């Protein structure tokens, strides 16, 4: 095989893969003045993990997840560590192309590419289990391929619609069964105590995320979207407590910036809401291009950021059963993933975000080959237009080839937003 992954003599940090990450990170840090000091933690984390190939191996059972629908609280409660496997590397995308048809989603290809490699970046160690929620077709079919690669895969059955009571009950059962599966591989029992501790950790992380999210309402902006995506991307593999502390520090810095009247972007910078296929490091090219062209991403509706961390769990009775059902509820009901039959909630959420974050325009990214995002594009554009919000639809993938063309389109879009704004005032 002459896949780009064949063992070579060069050390990882000089490989093409490391360079891909490094180039992106350099852009993120060096192309902008005044990066928050608290971002250093994240820059450094990504440098170590992606550029140096440093190990982030965790003790104990490691559970990979391929989607936000796998309840992390349950995994933590059983003493295991979740790692989100959705991958953003072009290097792995090319390797993964061997498994999938030509026109398929970069994210799925990259994830498969990573899982088939011997040298997995970020280095999270051998996975004891991969939880693969049955979301889109490509992820569903990827399951067997992962098994073929020698992984132990658990298909967490997600209903295709989420409104009905059947769907809710079906999903609750799926989640309860998942608990059984976790019990088998960890040998531990889910108790009120360990679940409460796990939920407390996630809840604190979510509270920190919400604070960060709320700071982004401020105009002019206190923080740039490229940094926030890096922060939420770090959640995929970082130690949850360390992550939370780092975000709380960032929040403290933003509070200070707010007091000082600091602007992270130009006052007139068009405010962008980002939606669609998730930006995952190193593929942050689209948010980066937006901000390099003078826009600022103030909010997002993607599963690598907002959709992953925003919605919180409410529990009525703190007993294991009720807690598990409540968790199941949180992982299904508020989710705006396009794989569900109905897209009402996604449309409503976009309009609400656009309004409450005083957004000037929406950028919709669809990875070519990701049918569900491609298919929802039209209805989203219509709904937003009706609400008087402009939208730019961009179909792209992980390859850097379209950067030039994308820059032109984004610049034109931002220009049009500025004109619109001027005409309005």
Partner 1 sequence: MKRLKDAVDRVDLNRFRFWLQLAMFALLVYGGYLAVDLGSRLPMFSCGFNEEGRAGVCYLLPLQHQLSRPWPQLFGIAGVSVLTGFGVFFLWFIVLNKGWCGYVCPLGTIQDWITALRRRLGARYSRYTQGQFRQLSRIKYLLLALMVLIPLGIGGGWFSRDMGTPFCLICPGRMILPMFTGDFSQFTIDFSSKTALVMTALGMGITGLFLAGAFVKKRFFCFFCPMSALHYLISKPALLKLKKDGDKCTRCGDCYTVCDMEIKEIADDIKTRDIMMDDCILCLKCVAACPEPGALKANFASVTFFESTEAGFIKRSQKGIGLEQPEH
Contact residues for partner 1, defined by CB under 8 A: 163, 165, 168, 196, 199-200, 203-204, 207, 210, 214, 311-319, 321-322, 325-326, 329-330, 332-334, 345, 348-349, 351-352
Minimum CB distance to partner 1, residue 172 (Å): 11
163 DSSP assignment: S
Minimum CB distance to partner 1, residue 196 (Å): 5
Instruction: Give the C-alpha separation, 135 to 155, whole Å.
Output: 10
Residue 132 or 336 having the CB closest to partner 1: 336
Residue 21 or 324 having the CB closest to partner 1: 324
Instruction: Give the C-alpha separation, 44 to 356, whole Å.
Output: 33
Q: Are 96 and 117 in contact (CB under 8 A)?
A: no
Dump the DSSP string for 310-359. S-----SS-SHHHHHHHHHHHHHTT---TTSS--HHHHHHHHHHHHHTT-
Residue written as token pair 């508020």: 334
Residue 254 or 392 having the CB closest to partner 1: 254
Residue 73 or 291 having the CB closest to partner 1: 73
Minimum CB distance to partner 1, residue 177 (Å): 17
To which H or E segment does residue 264 belong?
none
How large is the C-alpha radius of gyration of the chain?
A: 21
Minimum CB distance to partner 1, residue 59 (Å): 24
Residue 352 or 415 having the CB closest to partner 1: 352
Minimum CB distance to partner 1, residue 326 (Å): 5
Minimum CB distance to partner 1, residue 318 (Å): 6
Provide the 3-class DSSP secondary structure of residue 374.
helix
Residue 269 or 328 having the CB closest to partner 1: 328
List the one residue out of 239, 283, 248 whose CA is nearest residue 50.
283
To which H or E segment does residue 365 belong?
strand 361-367
Residue 177 or 317 having the CB closest to partner 1: 317
Q: Are 81 and 93 in contact (CB under 8 A)?
A: no
To which H or E segment does residue 177 belong?
helix 165-186
Minimum CB distance to partner 1, residue 208 (Å): 10
Minimum CB distance to partner 1, residue 42 (Å): 22
Residue 68 or 286 having the CB closest to partner 1: 68
Q: Are 392 and 363 in contact (CB under 8 A)?
A: yes
Minimum CB distance to partner 1, residue 393 (Å): 24
Residue 136 or 324 having the CB closest to partner 1: 324
What is the Cβ-side half-sphere exposure of residue 204, based on CA atoms within 13 angstroms? Answer: 14
Dump the DSSP string for 48-96. IIIIS--B---SS-EEEESSTTS-HHHHHHTT-EEEE-----HHHHHHH
Residue 141 or 168 having the CB closest to partner 1: 168
- The DSSP bridge pattern shows strands 153-156 and 62-65 to be unpaired
Instruction: Give the C-alpha separation, 300 to 279, whole Å.
Output: 10
Instruction: Give the C-alpha separation, 158 to 175, whole Å.
Output: 9
Minimum CB distance to partner 1, residue 347 (Å): 12
Minimum CB distance to partner 1, residue 54 (Å): 31
In 3-state terms the chain splits into helix, strand, coil percentages (rounded to 5) of: 55, 10, 35
Residue 71 or 295 having the CB closest to partner 1: 71
Residue written as token pair 């608990």: 179
């Amino acid at each position: 095989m002459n896949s780009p992954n064949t063992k070579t003599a060069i050390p990882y940090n000089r490989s093409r893969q490391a360079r891909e990450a490094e180039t992106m990170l350099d852009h993120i840090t060096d192309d902008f003045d005044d990066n928050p000091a608290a971002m250093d933690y994240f820059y450094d984390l990504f440098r170590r993990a992606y550029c140096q190939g440093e190990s982030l191996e965790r003790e104990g059972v490691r559970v990979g997840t391929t989607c936000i629908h796998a309840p992390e609280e349950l995994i933590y409660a059983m003493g295991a560590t979740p790692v989100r496997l959705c991958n953003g590397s072009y290097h792995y995308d090319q390797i993964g192309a061997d498994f999938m048809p030509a026109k398929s989603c970069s994210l799925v290809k990259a994830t498969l590419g990573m899982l088939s490699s011997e040298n997995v970046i970020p280095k999270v160690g051998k996975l004891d289990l991969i939880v693969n929620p049955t979301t889109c077709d490509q992820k569903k079919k990827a399951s067997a391929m992962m098994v073929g690669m020698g992984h132990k895969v658990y298909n967490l059955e997600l209903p295709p619609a989420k409104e009905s009571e059947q769907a809710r009950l079906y999903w609750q059962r799926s989640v309860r069964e998942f608990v059984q599966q976790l019990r088998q591989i960890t040998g531990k029992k889910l108790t009120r105590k360990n679940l409460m501790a796990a939920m407390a950790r996630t809840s604190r992380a979510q509270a920190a995320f919400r604070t960060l999210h709320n700071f982004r309402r401020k105009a002019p902006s206190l923080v740039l979207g490229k940094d926030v995506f890096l922060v939420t991307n770090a959640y995929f593999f970082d130690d949850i407590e360390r992550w939370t502390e780092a975000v709380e520090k960032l929040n403290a810095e933003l509070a200070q910036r707010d007091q000082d009247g600091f602007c992270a972007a130009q006052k007139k910078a068009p405010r962008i809401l980002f939606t669609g296929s998730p930006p995952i490091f190193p593929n942050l090219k689209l948010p980066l291009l937006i901000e390099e062209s003078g826009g600022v991403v103030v909010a997002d509706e993607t599963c690598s950021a907002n959709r992953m961390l925003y919605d919180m769990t409410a529990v009525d009775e703190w007993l294991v059963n009720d807690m598990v059902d409540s968790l199941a509820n949180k992982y299904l009901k508020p989710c705006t993933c396009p794989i569900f039959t109905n897209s009402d909630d996604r449309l409503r959420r976009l309009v609400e975000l656009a309004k409450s974050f005083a957004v000037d325009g929406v950028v919709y990214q669809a990875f070519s080959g990701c049918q569900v995002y491609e298919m929802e594009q039209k209805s989203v554009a219509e709904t937003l237009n009706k609400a008087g919000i402009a939208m730019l639809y961009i179909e792209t993938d992980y390859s850097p080839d379209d950067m030039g063309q994308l820059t032109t389109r984004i610049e034109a879009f931002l220009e049009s937003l500025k004109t619109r704004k001027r005409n309005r005032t």
